[in-house]
Structure 1
Amino acid sequence: MARLIPDSRKKHGWRYEPVISGKRLRFSFTCRLKRTAERTVLRIDDLIESAVHRTPLDGELLRWLEEIDERLFKQLVRAGLAKERAGHTVQSLTNAILESKEASVKPRTIVSMKQTQTSLIDFFGADCDITTITPGDADEFKSFLQSPRKISKRRKSGETYEKEQPGLAAETVQRRLRNAKSFFNFAVRKKFIKDNPFADMRTGQRGNRARMFHVDTALAYRVLDALPNARWRLLFSLYRWGGLRFNEALLLTWDDVVADQRVMMVPDEKGATHGRPVRKVPLFDEIEPYLLEVWEDLSSKTPGNTPIFVELLKGANPNQYLRNYFIRYLERAGITPWPRIFQNLRSTRATELSRIYASHVVRAILGHTEEVAQTNYLQPLEEDYDAIRQVSSRSTDEARKKPAEDARGKSDAFARRFTRTRHPMYNSRQSPSNHDSIKKPRENKPGVSFVDGNCDGSDARQNPSSRPGRTRTRDQGIMRT
């Protein structure tokens, strides 16, 4: 019977050499503890038993095969005790994830995941084995997303040409890295790989302040004048003064408008995952005239569940379609398009409402969290800085009008009060500056004088009624008078 033998050539190394049908098999592996090595030998014996008797492997043995290191697994494959692991490529991994997520996530999320899949395939290749991707490769993938590159485009005539594409925006890079990180987390949980190469990648959600823009009221009415018809004006007013997300306005139906309460029951896709499928949005005064304008143009036979913007929902990608047309209308009117066409309208409304209403009311109307608002929506306005400057200058002027004597008077009053209320321990001490508390020298007794440079004992001689005294000198001692 084969024995477990310590391998002196390796630290914590072990060798196991069983014989099957007259053929010796050699396995070498490392285990810190002997009992762990003995359990490994038992697993190998189970594999040998299953191979000899051609019985299927149980679930526990299959899990052990998935968890062991690659070196021992290859030895088992060469011995005919295990089958080669099915390789997982970038293409197969991302396809499996998209198939599993398609029924449980929103369509916009699927679009974002497909964009990440395209980026991974462009950089690593569709047939790249995911086990060969390292954290260093993940860093290079991030640089690939950030750097400009040339891409191939096809004209309507069929001719292809190359176009310089700039690097992706910082927020887009973070989104793709988050998706890539979740893809490889899926692979780790499926035991396709041991470690996620994107695990140490920082993919926190951070708003891009450089792409924030405030669409003030004056600019908003300029845009309304540039739009071609009533539906476009209503759509813009819902984004600008209703603060709706892009898809929320497109999904809005006439049944969602509750006229007697002057509110809209907006379908909330993001809130649906947290138990809030609908939120109540007031019909602000800026929205009502455009809503009535569209309503009056409708036929009386229009069903209530008809989307309000059914005529604008053209093409497979309404987001791109509406964005392109909206930018075209802005440029015709001489208005420079702002960085994020629809998101900046929502952030503008969030900033306006937060200056008037409590934060929990604004969150209920717009459907975002406080963290998202602070990161992506709220922005200081020039009006805020003007108000701060006015308050600051007013305070400075008032301070300059007060005479300096008031300050000195307050200082003196404080000093007097502070002296009276000092601790008794400090009041009992004699201060050197208090001349009244200095101890006076002892008076000389009658008939005794200190003969010194200025004292000659004349007082005693001039007072004959006093009893005979003594005169003391410093050098001669006591003298009788």
Structure 2
Amino acid sequence: MASLSTNSNGLRRVLFVDGAGERRGVHLGRLPQKAAEAFLRRVEELNANRIAGVSNSTELASWVRGLPDSIHAKLERVALVEPRAAATVRTVGELLDTFEQRAVVKPSTRKAYKQTLDSLRAFLGAETALQAVTAETADAWRKWIATDTTSVGRKRATADNRLSPATCAKRTFVARTVFRKAVRWKWIATSPFEGVQAGSQANPSRAFYVSAEATTAILGRCPDVEWRSIVGLTRYAGLRCPSELATLTWADIDWEAGRLTVRASKTEHHGGGHAVRHVPICPALRAILEEAFEQAAEGSTLVVPRTGCGNVNLRTTFEKIITRAGLVPWPRLFQNLRASCETDWVEAYPAHEVAAWMGHSPAVAAAHYLQRRDHHFQDVVANGLRGDAQSDARGAQNRAQQVPARNRKEPQPSPEDDALLRFMRTFAASCGELNKYSVGDEGLEPPTPSV
């Protein structure tokens, strides 16, 4: 049993006798009577468990864990609880290093992660305690990466040397992932980056459609058939360069079926059909591959050996080839070749089929690959919406009226022919008026009496 003692100054303490028969006391200060009585009951329970050698109940253990350090230390001095372990102070630098070490990702993804980790380390400070990083700090970091113009290393693509909105969105997404790991590892209770708006990772300003004419000009300036294969496989088959070209072998080409078997290292971790896909070989690409096969060295297996070298710089050489073709290098050289291929395909084939050939979903295609074409806009201006009866009639009328000039060497039409031509023009124009009216319930035939 324990008792509650109050002295003349109103200071309270709990008195009890421990298992060794010694009288012990816990000073509570000027604690209200009810609170002191509640604390007394907890002391009695703790003392009883100590004497009996049994564990504390879940509810009592939870109460002990929630005690302030000063109160917990008083219970430690009278041997009612075990000393608390010193709290481990985790730092920002420790979190970033651990995240980088434990991440199981492709080398290219690890490189992209490092850019975000470096910006977090620079802004937050490696020695800063994780508990000191607040939601306000996270918002300040998001604003900083969007407005900072003092980049280190390669010049940024934007005119004012800021990160593009898509890059800011990507880095925000990675930062949220990093601090979610800290929560999962129980290093912090909540993530200060939760709720920070990332934005869209799509960047339409860097999209560029590489036309068939431009592709032909570039192929004509390639120094060898291996470079023609790089351009052809990327522009005509939509392969990722260099990752998918680097693993393409001659055994992956089914000449009879006109099919490429492509191994996608970027999406293989998704499982299922994401590791391998089949891509059709168009005639233009087939001609390039046949030439490459004829010139391939005896015993070679890779279609494009140059891409299998990890340290090769394809970008610089390709920019020179584009310039020699009389063109200006565009952003994202190889991805825009791939995107141009998909843009052409979706105009002729179902979107789900094209997405399967490209190795991603129709949603990803719409967000990051499909590009606007000017001729679509002009087609609507000239001919209206497809399926619009009035627009179709107007188009027919325009075509009928736009009769090509007669060849002076051919026999001139007779007056009867001119009259027939005028009649046909009038008839074509009247079709547009007829399309305004629908057929009634009686149909085209006149009503007849029932038999």
- TM (norm. structure 1) is 0.65
Q: Aligned pairs, how many?
A: 373
- Deviation digits for residues 449-470 of structure 1, max 9, x if unmatched? xxxxxxxxxxxxxxxxxxxxxx
CA contact (8 A) 1:135 1:197 kept: yes
In structure 2, the partner of 1:278 is 276
Q: Residues 152 and 202 of structure 1: is their aligned pair in 2 closer, same or farther, counting only changes over 3 Å? A: closer
Q: Residues 337 and 404 of structure 1: is their aligned pair in 2 closer, same or farther, counting only changes over 3 Å? A: closer
| 1:91 paired to 2:93 | yes
In structure 2, the partner of 1:124 is 124
Task: Give the match's secondary structure for 1:210.
Answer: helix
* Structure 2 Cα separation of the partners of residues 25 and 2 of structure 1: 13
Letter in 2 for 1:237: G
In structure 1, the partner of 2:250 is 254
| Coordinate RMSD, CA, aligned | 4.5
- Deviation digits for residues 150-208 of structure 1, max 9, x if unmatched? 35569xxxxxxxxx982212111111111111111111112211111111122355422
* Structure 2 Cα separation of the partners of residues 347 and 280 of structure 1: 17
Letter in 2 for 1:92: E
In structure 1, the partner of 2:374 is 382
Letter in 2 for 1:120: L
In structure 1, the partner of 2:346 is 354
CA contact (8 A) 2:279 2:357 kept: yes
- Whose RCO is larger (CA < 8 A, sep 6+)? 2
Q: By how many angstroms is 1:332 displaced?
A: 4.3
Q: Residues 108 and 219 of structure 1: is their aligned pair in 2 closer, same or farther, counting only changes over 3 Å? A: same
Q: By how many angstroms is 1:266 displaced?
A: 0.2
Letter in 2 for 1:286: A
- Deviation digits for residues 288-339 of structure 1, max 9, x if unmatched? 222222222222222x3xx3333344454x5xx2223322332344422212
**Candidates 276, 290, 294, aligned match of 2:292:** 294
Q: By how many angstroms is 1:245 displaced?
A: 1.7
Task: Give the match's secondary structure for 1:24.
Answer: strand
Moved more, 165-174 or 74-83: 74-83
Moved more, 336-345 or 213-222: 336-345
Q: By how many angstroms is 1:98 displaced?
A: 2.5
Q: Residues 148 and 203 of structure 1: is their aligned pair in 2 closer, same or farther, counting only changes over 3 Å? A: closer
CA contact (8 A) 1:93 1:187 kept: yes
Q: By how many angstroms is 1:94 displaced?
A: 2.1
The answer for unaligned runs of 5 or more in structure 2 is: 6-11, 77-81, 385-390, 399-427, 441-451
* Structure 1 Cα separation of the partners of residues 15 and 210 of structure 2: 78
Q: By how many angstroms is 1:260 displaced?
A: 2.6
Q: Residues 386 and 74 of structure 1: is their aligned pair in 2 closer, same or farther, counting only changes over 3 Å? A: farther
CA contact (8 A) 1:16 1:28 kept: no
Q: Residues 405 and 328 of structure 1: is their aligned pair in 2 closer, same or farther, counting only changes over 3 Å? A: closer
Letter in 1 for 2:271: H
Q: By how many angstroms is 1:119 displaced?
A: 1.5
In structure 2, the partner of 1:427 is none
In structure 1, the partner of 2:306 is 311
**Candidates 169, 173, 177, aligned match of 2:172:** 177
Task: Give the match's secondary structure for 1:200.
Answer: coil
In structure 1, the partner of 2:316 is 324
- Deviation digits for residues 358-386 of structure 1, max 9, x if unmatched? 12211221111121111111223112112
* Structure 2 Cα separation of the partners of residues 261 and 236 of structure 1: 22
In structure 2, the partner of 1:373 is 365
**Candidates 215, 239, 261, aligned match of 1:265:** 261
Task: Give the match's secondary structure for 2:195.
Answer: coil
- Deviation digits for residues 233-272 of structure 1, max 9, x if unmatched? 1111111111112211222122222223221110023155
- Deviation digits for residues 107-131 of structure 1, max 9, x if unmatched? 3322222222112112112222121
In structure 2, the partner of 1:441 is none
Task: Give the match's secondary structure for 2:278.
Answer: strand
- TM (norm. structure 2) is 0.69
* Structure 2 Cα separation of the partners of residues 27 and 342 of structure 1: 74
Q: Residues 189 and 227 of structure 1: is their aligned pair in 2 closer, same or farther, counting only changes over 3 Å? A: same
In structure 2, the partner of 1:110 is 110
- Deviation digits for residues 11-67 of structure 1, max 9, x if unmatched? xxxx997889957366999xxxx9xx98x958x949x969xx9x9x99x89x969x9
In structure 1, the partner of 2:198 is 203
Task: Give the match's secondary structure for 1:149.
Answer: coil
Q: Residues 64 and 367 of structure 1: is their aligned pair in 2 closer, same or farther, counting only changes over 3 Å? A: farther
Q: By how many angstroms is 1:81 displaced?
A: 2.3
CA contact (8 A) 1:184 1:197 kept: yes
Q: By how many angstroms is 1:285 displaced?
A: 1.4
* Structure 1 Cα separation of the partners of residues 291 and 239 of structure 2: 20
CA contact (8 A) 1:17 1:25 kept: yes
Task: Give the match's secondary structure for 1:264.
Answer: strand
| 1:189 paired to 2:187 | no
Q: Residues 25 and 174 of structure 1: is their aligned pair in 2 closer, same or farther, counting only changes over 3 Å? A: farther
The structure whose Rg is larger is: 1
Q: Residues 73 and 200 of structure 1: is their aligned pair in 2 closer, same or farther, counting only changes over 3 Å? A: farther
**Candidates 209, 212, 218, aligned match of 2:213:** 218
Q: By how many angstroms is 1:346 displaced?
A: 1.6
* Structure 2 Cα separation of the partners of residues 335 and 143 of structure 1: 37
Task: Give the match's secondary structure for 2:246.
Answer: helix
- Give runs of aligned pairs for residues 389-404 of structure 1, distance below 5 A: 389-392=381-384, 401=429
Letter in 2 for 1:228: P
In structure 2, the partner of 1:423 is none
**Candidates 84, 88, 92, aligned match of 1:82:** 84
CA contact (8 A) 1:148 1:167 kept: yes
CA contact (8 A) 2:165 2:200 kept: no
Task: Give the match's secondary structure for 1:287.
Answer: helix
Aligned residues with identical type, % of pairs: 26
The answer for unaligned runs of 5 or more in structure 1 is: 6-14, 155-163, 415-481
Q: Residues 324 and 75 of structure 1: is their aligned pair in 2 closer, same or farther, counting only changes over 3 Å? A: farther
Q: Residues 245 and 153 of structure 1: is their aligned pair in 2 closer, same or farther, counting only changes over 3 Å? A: closer
Q: By how many angstroms is 1:146 displaced?
A: 1.6
In structure 2, the partner of 1:440 is none
Q: Residues 73 and 193 of structure 1: is their aligned pair in 2 closer, same or farther, counting only changes over 3 Å? A: farther
Letter in 2 for 1:145: I
Q: By how many angstroms is 1:68 displaced?
A: 6.2
Q: Residues 26 and 264 of structure 1: is their aligned pair in 2 closer, same or farther, counting only changes over 3 Å? A: farther
Task: Give the match's secondary structure for 1:167.
Answer: coil
CA contact (8 A) 1:350 1:377 kept: yes
